[in-house]
Structure formats: structure tokens, C-alpha cells
Amino acid sequence: MSRRKARKQVFENVEVVDAGAKGKTIAKAPDGRVIFLSNAVPGDIIDVQTFKKRKSYYEGHATTFHKLSDKRTSPKCEHFGTCGGCKWQDMAYEHQLFYKQKEVINNLTRIGHVELPEVTPILGSAHQYFYRNKMEFSFSDSRWLTLEEIQSNEDLGDKNALGFHIPGMWDKILDVKKCYLQADPSNAIRNAVKQFALENNLEFFNTRNQTGLLRTMMIRTSSTGDIMVLIQFFKDDKAKRELLLNYVAATFPQITSLQYVINGKANDTIYDQEVICYHGADHIFEAMEGLKFKINAKSFYQTNSDQAYELYKITRDFAGLTGNELVYDLYTGTGTIAQFVSKKAGKVIGVESVPDAIVAAKENAQLNNINNVEFYVGDMKQVFNEVFIETHGHPDIIITDPPRDGMHKDVVQQILNIAPKKIVYVSCNSATQARDLELMDEMYKVTKTQAVDMFPQTFHVENVVLLEKR
């Protein structure tokens, strides 16, 4: 028997008992090892086929369901299970929230070893579908085929796709009929663009061969009613490009910003590309509590606008501002949190490593007539030093909202050297947040923690922690 075959085992009548990191659910094998699953819900009783064996765990998938969990619900989307998004769509929303909260608490206590106050219940999202304000779709001339399609003898017809990457496969695109993540007219725009491209023989991209015309399409919507569409072309074909863009502008007059990129390089990131405005403005606006934020094609903005407002309110409430404090906002991005808390602070200093983000932050502050914020660009672990503190003042409160990797240990150490009265730590990854909290535990205690669900139907969760000096 080969080693590969020896690793595969079948376990029968196993109960799925929990949900863990990265959306995997958990069962226990008869030998005591944990089994990580991606196609079951806690409470299911199943047969498991393993495909990976390690010292302390297996990875596998459910092959037979003997009993379905009462935590289950019917997925809305026809693409569930094939598409890489919305992996928890088969679990009822109240149970999604339960497991998200549980993961945050487990990470803070097991990784961070911090003592927690009474935990405030997770804040669920009012909208569990159609909540995203930004979606990116890819074109492909060789769409992903399901097993049923491959095994059928029928003519599969059109092989073109406009949709999402299959998980773990950079060159395979699932053709999406209807996506439940972004509100209308997102689906209508995507489907119309695909149909028009097919009717007019506009070539869909082939990633492996680097051929074709149409690469990607981004749709951004906003709480103000603005809509941005950006189409990325692989080559410069003026006639075909204008044919498509004119059709989009005429068919969807509600689009306020129609833009394009011509990108002939190997990858489809637009951040090093020139974005050209074809029709309307080169930006859209988001609004939050009287503030307006100008969003261009390359801007970062929280993808769930309604929950971003809730997240920022919690952040401001945790800071407990009285109107006089000097606040440092680390990893400020385009300065949304800095501007949101500014009216209750004396002064806010925002620091960010991406120059374009700081340009946008300054522009938005000017747009909002905010005079008590300042923004500086640079690598956090270099800029955020003693000279910076001497120049700009000793902060009363530090707000930090780092990327998924958390804060560099030098930044954590500098925060400890500065020793502000309070730290409000906003995180999209409670595991790295917990690691950083452990480094600060000797000097600071966690006095509040609040999980916020920004991404229903997925396992992702944000968490806000208030740290106060011991």
C-alpha cells in the first residue's frame, strides 16, 4: 500500500462538535485526533473520508450524513460549496455569531493568556446578505466545470466565465449567475457585461496563456447611492474598449464613475497601474455621521458600510473621549477612524505607511472641514519613535487598527515606552491581536472587549479591545 493511500482513512458515525479557525468545523477521531472539516456543521453526524494525516490531526470531508444538525439552514446561493466565499451559508446566523464570539474569546484567553472582563455579546449585522460595497470579478475563457458537467455527455456550450476564483486555483473561474453579497444593480451589471461581451466577440482572458481582452471588473457601491465600475483590459483595443464602455454607460445611467485600466502585466493588481476615467467622476463618496469620504478606484474603505459605522462608534465609545485628548491613530489608512473620533478629541494624529492613503486622508479632512487632525506617512516601526513623540506630543489615547498580521513587536514596545492611559485595539484577526495583548499584559489590563460581525456567512470577525493601565 502506498504512503499516500495509507493516509486516507474512513471514520463512521462521527459527530461534528465545534467550529474552529478559518471556518473549519471539528470532529474527534476514535484515536483522539482532531478532524478538520470544510463541508459539515456542528451537530451533524457523518462518515468522514480523511485526505491528510498529521501528528495531532486529520483533514477530511464528510461523505455521508446520518443526521443533519439543527444548526443548519438552506444556503440561498446556487454556487454554495463551489464558490470560495460565504462558507458558513449553511449555518443559521445566530450560530455563526456564537462560533465567531467563541473564537475571539478562545484566542484572547489561550493565545493571549489575558484575563477578560465580562464579555459584551457580539454585534451582529443588520444585513446578512447584500452587505458588501465592493466586489471584484474575473473574466475567463475556460470556466470551471462541475463534476456533473464533466461526467455528462451534453454539449457544455459557452466556456466563458465572469465570476470568482475557485479556492486555491489561480487560473480557474466560477461563472456566477447571482451573488448575494452586493446589492442591485451589481448582479445586473455583471450579467449584462458578460452577455454583451459574448454577443460582440470580446475575448475573455486566459490566465495561463496571457491572451484575451477582458481581465477583471470591479463594482463599488456606496451609502450615498454612487456606483463605480472599473473594467480592466489586457491590451489596448480602442474600438472594442469603447464599444463595451459606451454600452455600460448607456445601459446603466445610474453609474456615477466608469473607469478602465489597460494592464498587460502578468498579474491583475491595479495598484501600480494608471486608472483612466471614461465617464462621470473618478471617485464616489461614502457618508458616515455627517462626514463624507472620497473613494477612488484604489482606495481602501471598510467593505460593509453599515457595520463600519457600528465598529467606529464602538471604537469611539471605548476611547471615552471628553474633547481635550491627544489621540494617535496608528495604521490610519485613509483616516476614517481619525476623522470619525476627531469631533470628540482635542487633536488626532494619524500615521500610515501607504503614501496614497495619506494623500486621501488629508483630502477627506479638508473636504470635511476638520482642522484638528494631522496625517503622516511612514513605516510604523520607524516613524513612530521618540523624536515623533517629542514633535507631536505625548498621546493620552492610542487607537490602533493594524492589518491581519497585527503589530510589529517594535511598535508594541514603543507603545509600552509611551505608556498612554488607554489603548483601543481594533483587529480583523483576534489571533494576532491576542499575541500583541500578551506582550502588553504586564502594563495594561483588558477592560472591555467587543466582537463585531462585518462579514455574515463567512468565518471572519472583527474585535475591539480597550486596554487601560494597571
Q: Which residues carry out catalysis?
A: 428
Going by C-alpha positions, the residue among 47, 59, 55 that lies closest to residue 8 is 59
Q: Give burial (CB, 10 Å; 0-12/13-18/19+) of 233.
A: buried
Peptide bond into 185 cis (omega under 30): yes
227-233 and 257-262 as β-strands: parallel, antiparallel, unpaired? parallel
Return phi, psi of residue 414, to 5°.
-65, -35
Secondary structure (DSSP) of 129-197: SS--SEEEEEEESSPPPPHHHHHS-S------EEEEEPTT-TT-EEEPS--SSS-TTHHHHHHHHHHHH
Number of other residues whose CB lies within 10 A of the CB of residue 429: 18
CA atoms within 13 A on the CB side of 470: 10
Q: Report which DSSP code applies to 230.
A: E
Residues 6+ apart with CB under 8 A from 11: 27, 29, 30, 35, 47, 48, 50, 60
Going by C-alpha positions, the residue among 270, 343, 329, 260 that lies closest to residue 300 is 270
